[in-house]
């Protein structure tokens, strides 16, 4: 199988001395209410091999679980409009700097907590510390995606919540399809591991290392699933040996070897 990466992303990545190959799997545009089992079976099963791991965007799992809120369901009040004026606007998308997302936060955790978080955030920004608001209000608020039509117009009027019980989803995928999976919330600024199959033996640090450059991309790639395969060590050694045999005499490597001898 030929491994393909998104633009400006590499196929191979090194994690703790091991090399892994990543294949960006292009899918159709996953809609609300689809079956993630059917999606994975269609796109992953034909190319999956024993030992592979797939990394799945949390967004498509949430869409399949119908974990969405619609714009018309959220009535934006004066407090949300006021607090949103003081929030930052990250490059990775819109946050509570948009009144509708601030209102979502208020609906989820309450007005008092959002006011406290906003005050704490404003104070800590004076010392260069950011992200305090989201740490206080929690993952459910910070993980809300959508209400942002600039990349996908389909997401302009819906908010996509965090998936429900990601670990159970990964275990279900393994039980039904025999495919080891992890669900991640990733962008070009950072990655978060939400859940992974119980049968996976790699550490969380290693799993995050496999996707530390966000190989799924952040634009309109429609590659929400990344297949990860450990590189064949024997093949790697063969390729290195071929390079040595084909290397012309008098190179820096040959000279270094003569010096050492």
Of 98, 130, 160, the residue at which a domain comes to its end is 160
Is 102 in the same domain as 216? Answer: no
**CATH no. for residue 214?**
3.30.1330.100
198/253: higher pLDDT: 198
Query: Is 243 part of a structural domain of the chain?
Result: no
Q: 59-93, pLDDT tens digit by residue?
A: 999 999 999 999 999 999 999 999 998 887 665 56
Three-class SS of the chain: CCCCCCCCCCCEEEECCEEEEEEEECCCCCCCCCCHHHHHHHHCCCCCCCCCEEEEEHHHHHHHCCCEEEHHHCCCCHHHHHHHCCCCCCCCCCCCCCHHHHHHHHHHHCHHHHHHHHHHHHHHHCCCCCCHHHHHHCHHHHCCEECCCCCCHHHCCEEECCCCCHHHHHHHHHHHHCCCEEEEEEECCEEEEEEECCCCCCCHHHHHHHCCCCCCCCCCCCCCEEEEEECCHHHHHHHHHHHHHHCCCCCHHHHHHHHHC
Which residue segment(s) compose the domain that 25 sits in? 12-67+162-233
What global pTM score does this model have?
A: 0.83
127 and 193 housed in the same domain: no
Is residue 7 included in any domain, yes or no? no
pLDDT digits (tens, 9 = 90+) for 7-42: 889 999 999 999 999 999 999 999 999 999 999 999
> pLDDT of 82-132, one tens digit each?
999 888 766 556 788 899 999 999 999 999 999 999 999 999 988 888 889
Asked if the structure places residue 247 within a domain, the reply is no
């Amino acid at each position: 199988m030929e491994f393909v990466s998104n633009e400006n992303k590499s196929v191979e990545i090194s994690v703790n001395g091991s090399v892994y190959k990543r294949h960006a799997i292009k899918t159709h545009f996953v809609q609300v209410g689809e079956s993630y089992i059917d999606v994975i079976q269609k796109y992953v099963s034909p190319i999956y091999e024993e030992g592979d791991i797939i990394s799945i965007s949390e967004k498509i799992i949430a869409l399949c679980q119908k974990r969405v809120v619609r714009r018309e369901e959220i009535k934006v009040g004066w407090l949300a409009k006021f607090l949103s004026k003081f929030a930052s606007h990250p490059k990775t998308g819109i946050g509570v700097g948009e009144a509708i997302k601030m209102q979502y936060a208020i609906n989820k955790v309450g007005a008092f907590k959002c006011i406290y978080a906003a005050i704490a955030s404003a104070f800590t920004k004076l010392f260069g510390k950011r992200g305090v608001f989201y740490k206080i209000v929690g993952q459910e608020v910070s993980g809300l995606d959508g209400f942002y039509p600039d990349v996908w117009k389909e997401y302009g009027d819906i908010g996509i919540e965090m998936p429900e019980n990601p670990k159970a989803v990964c275990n279900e995928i393994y039980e039904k399809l025999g495919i080891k999976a992890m669900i991640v919330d990733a962008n070009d600024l950072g990655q978060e591991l939400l859940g992974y199959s119980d049968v996976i033996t790699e550490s969380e640090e290693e799993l995050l290392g496999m996707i530390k450059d966000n190989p799924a991309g952040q634009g309109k790639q429609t590659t929400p699933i990344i297949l990860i395969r450990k590189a064949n060590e024997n093949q790697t050694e063969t390729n290195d040996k071929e390079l040595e045999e084909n290397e012309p005499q008098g190179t820096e490597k040959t000279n270094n070897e003569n010096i050492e001898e």
